[in-house]
Amino acid sequence: MGIFNGDMNDDMTPRGSTEPLPLDSTLQTIHERFGITWIISDPSDSLFFYDFPKRWSTYYDPSFTPVYEPEFTDASLEEKANEICGNDNFCKFDIAATGRTEIGEATLNGGKIFEAIVNLSQPIICDPPCVHGACVSTDVCACGEGYEGSTCDSIVTTECIQNPCNGGDCQYHAGSYICTCLPGLTGDFCEENIPTTTVDDADNVGLAVGLTVGILIPLVIVTMIAVIVLVLVIVRHKRSKKESERKYTDQQEMKQVPKNVYN
């Protein structure tokens, strides 16, 4: 309901009129002078969808007159409603319409929950507002490119003109600026050189690595050969010793054979 132009004062403008109703109009005035003017008589004008078998005509009743204020026929029920609802007319209306206080209490509690949710989702508003930026927290503006100041109302004109980026690209950002440095430079203002390795240094490193590998590989091979030779010598020596011991044993046995025979 309304024109949705940001001005609530003209929301209740009757069809065919340019004079809106006052915001403090009674419910009856709003219904009779505003609501009825927007009633439709052609089903094709309806913005709603209806579950079969219901249709637009099921709900179309131009003679309907709503209950504008809670109407109690039971004084004791009205007293209970006032105690429970206070100034909440929605709560009172439901009790009057149903005769059940628990219905009114549910309406009252539902309204409180809804209000709490709305309060939790309140938009952040800066006062004064951010002219060229966004309000990121109460009274704190994040300025758009090229603007600065507490409300982003001042044009940034000096920082990038002074070439603070040591020849790099200067870009406005959030009320200040950032530098995109040239190749080989770094730092907030591109004031630091990035260490580089020259071609000669790379050649020297490659030469040193090559020499080291060239020395280590033959050394490893020689060491392996020496170890293998040493192992072979030790094995051969052990075999030779065992062979000598076996021959000596055989000779001793041969010497003892004749003596045994003659005896």
Mind listing the pLDDT tens digit for each residue in 83-98?
999 999 999 999 999 9
Say if pTM beats, i.e. exceeds, 0.85.
no
Q: Is residue 251 part of a domain?
A: no
Domain end (from 219, 238, 255): 219
Q: Is residue 262 part of a domain?
A: no
Structural domain range at position 108: 8-120
Do residues 92 and 69 touch, judged by C-beta distance below 8 A? no
For 51-86, what is each residue's pLDDT tens digit? 889 988 898 998 888 888 888 999 999 999 999 999
The token duo for 162 is 């002074």
The 3-state DSSP composition of the chain as helix, strand, coil percent (nearest 5) reads 50, 10, 40
Q: Is residue 248 part of a domain?
A: no
The token duo for 124 is 């952040």
- Domain co-membership, 152 together with 82: no
Q: Is residue 244 part of a domain?
A: no
- Domain co-membership, 12 together with 110: yes
Q: Is residue 227 part of a domain?
A: no
For 203-251, what is each residue's pLDDT tens digit? 666 667 767 767 878 887 888 888 888 878 787 777 777 676 676 666 6
Q: Is residue 182 part of a domain?
A: yes
Q: Alpha carbon of 66 to those of 1, 24, 37: distances in Å?
A: 18, 19, 15
- How many folded domains does the chain comprise? 2
Report which secondary-structure segment, H or E, holds 246. helix 199-262
Any bridge partners for residue 56, and if so which? none
CA angle centred on 191, ends 186 and 197, rounded to 5°: 55
